[in-house]
């Protein structure tokens, strides 16, 4: 095993152990690492903690009562994203040369919080290369509605995971608009030498990370408070709807969950599908909008 591969394996093993909420001690971690063929002293493990804090912005703390280590809740977002990155690098067979390289890759990849995607990895290495170099790609694409693949030229901005599939999102140069392509339906992908500007890509990526799903939204991000029944909240907390999701308040009858995002069609749809188990409390304009949807449905079904 190369030194680079071993470092990633060490980080991955330590991070997964800390995420387990079992508060492992240094001795516990040493055994966990040994079971994966990694022989580290407790002093070396402490040094790895320091590297993880500095390189991955994941804060590791010590609980005196439990006599073990854990990841602070504020770092959960970074933790989940890097765990996904470790898994993705293995599945898609691309190399990460350094922590700097890992952070760069994170700029081009947006993970679904819950999904486990099994396919669509063939073009990952080439697309990551194109995004790092900021060059256009060309490919053929066979959509669900067509029997014939059609050529496309794209400035690749982001690889986004959603509902069990990977998507490529970017600026289609012929149609001059942002478009989304399912990776599994792309054929004959090639790099070109035509460069594109980074600034527009950054704007699009920021917007896409502020929404649920793939429907590009021009709306503004806002703080959203949603009340769930206790039963439904258990599922929601275990299967986050968006990376910004956080637990705000909990009592016997209900749980208050917060989001910070731009509420696009897919977010509203995912809330509405929960029926009376879920209620949007804030902002008021979104609550009223959801109420109007429900009234329209009631009129449709009850005439």
pLDDT in tens, 208-245: 888 998 876 667 899 999 999 999 998 898 888 888 89
Phi, psi of 181, deg, nearest 5:
-130, 130
**pLDDT, mean of residues 9-13:** 82
Query: Given the structure tokens 């942002």, which residue do they identify?
Result: 178
Report d(CA 239, CA 56) in Å as an integer: 23
Rg (CA), the chain: 22
Q: How confident is the model at residue 281 (pLDDT cuts 50, 70, 90)?
A: very high
pLDDT in tens, 252-277: 899 999 999 999 999 999 999 999 99
Domain for residue 282, yes or no? yes
Please report the DSSP string for 143-191 in residue order: -TT-SS-EEEEEEEEEEEEETTEEEEEEEETTTTEEEEEEGGGEEEEEE
Please give the residue range of the domain that contains residue 251: 222-302
Judged against a pLDDT cut of 80, whether residue 73 lies above it is answered with: no
Q: How confident is the model at residue 287 (pLDDT cuts 50, 70, 90)?
A: very high
The whole-model pTM stands at 0.65
Q: How confident is the model at residue 6 (pLDDT cuts 50, 70, 90)?
A: confident
**pLDDT, mean of residues 124-146:** 91
pLDDT in tens, 152-163: 999 999 998 888
Domain for residue 64, yes or no? yes
CATH number of the structural domain spanning residue 64: 1.10.10
Domain for residue 53, yes or no? yes
Helix (H) or strand (E) segment spanning residue 247: strand 246-250
Judged against a pLDDT cut of 80, whether residue 202 lies above it is answered with: yes
Claim to verify: residue 186 and residue 226 sit in the same structural domain = no
Sequence-distant (6+) residues with CB within 8 A of 271 are: 226, 278, 280, 290
Ranges 17-31, 114-128, 265-279: which has the least confidence: 114-128
- CA distances from residue 256 to 145, 195, 250, 272, 283 in whole angstroms, order as listed: 41, 46, 6, 16, 14
CATH number of the structural domain spanning residue 125: 2.30.30
Taking each helix axis from N to C end, the angle separating 42-56 and 3-19, rounded to the nearest 10 degrees, works out to 90
Task: Output the average pLDDT for the chain.
Answer: 85
> Which of 208, 235, 267 marks a domain boundary?
208
**pLDDT, mean of residues 198-212:** 85
Nearest CA-CA partner of 182 in 162, 196, 200, 201: 162
Claim to verify: residue 120 and residue 64 sit in the same structural domain = no
Report yes or no: 278 and 232 within 8 Å, Cβ to Cβ.
Answer: yes
> Which of 74, 93, 118 marks a domain boundary?
74
**pLDDT, mean of residues 168-184:** 92
Phi, psi of 136, deg, nearest 5:
-70, 150
Q: Work out how many domains the chain is built from and give that number.
A: 3
Sequence-distant (6+) residues with CB within 8 A of 237 are: 247, 255, 257
pLDDT in tens, 41-53: 999 999 999 988 8
Judged against a pLDDT cut of 80, whether residue 115 lies above it is answered with: no
Structure confidence at residue 300 (pLDDT): 87
Report yes or no: 56 and 78 within 8 Å, Cβ to Cβ.
Answer: yes
């Amino acid at each position: 095993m190369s030194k680079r591969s071993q470092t990633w394996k060490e980080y991955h093993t330590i991070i997964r152990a800390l995420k387990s909420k079992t508060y492992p001690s240094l001795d516990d971690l040493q055994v966990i690492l040994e079971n994966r063929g990694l022989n580290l002293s407790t002093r070396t493990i402490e040094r790895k903690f320091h590297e993880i804090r500095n390189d991955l912005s994941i804060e590791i703390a010590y609980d005196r009562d439990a006599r073990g280590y854990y990841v602070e809740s504020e770092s959960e977002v970074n933790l989940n994203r890097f765990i996904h990155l470790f898994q993705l690098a293995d599945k898609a067979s691309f190399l990460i040369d350094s922590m700097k390289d890992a952070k760069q890759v994170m700029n081009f990849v947006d993970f679904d919080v819950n999904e486990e995607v099994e396919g669509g990895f063939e073009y990952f290495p080439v697309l990551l290369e194109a995004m790092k170099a900021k060059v256009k790609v060309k490919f053929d694409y066979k959509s669900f509605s067509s029997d014939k693949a059609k050529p496309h030229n794209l400035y690749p901005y982001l690889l986004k995971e959603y509902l069990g599939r990977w998507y490529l999102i970017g600026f289609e140069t012929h149609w001059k608009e942002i478009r989304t392509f399912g990776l599994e339906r792309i054929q004959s992908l090639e790099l070109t030498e035509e460069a594109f500007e980074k600034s527009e890509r950054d704007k699009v990526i920021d917007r896409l990370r502020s929404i649920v799903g793939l429907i590009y939204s021009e709306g503004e991000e806002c703080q959203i408070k949603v009340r769930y029944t206790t039963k439904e909240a258990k599922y929601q907390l275990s299967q986050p709807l968006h990376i910004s999701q956080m637990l705000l308040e909990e009592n016997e009858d209900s749980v208050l969950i917060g989001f910070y995002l731009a509420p696009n069609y897919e977010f509203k749809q995912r809330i509405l599908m929960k029926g009376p188990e879920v209620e949007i409390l804030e902002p008021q304009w979104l609550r009223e909008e959801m109420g109007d949807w429900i009234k329209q449905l009631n009129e449709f079904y009850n005439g």
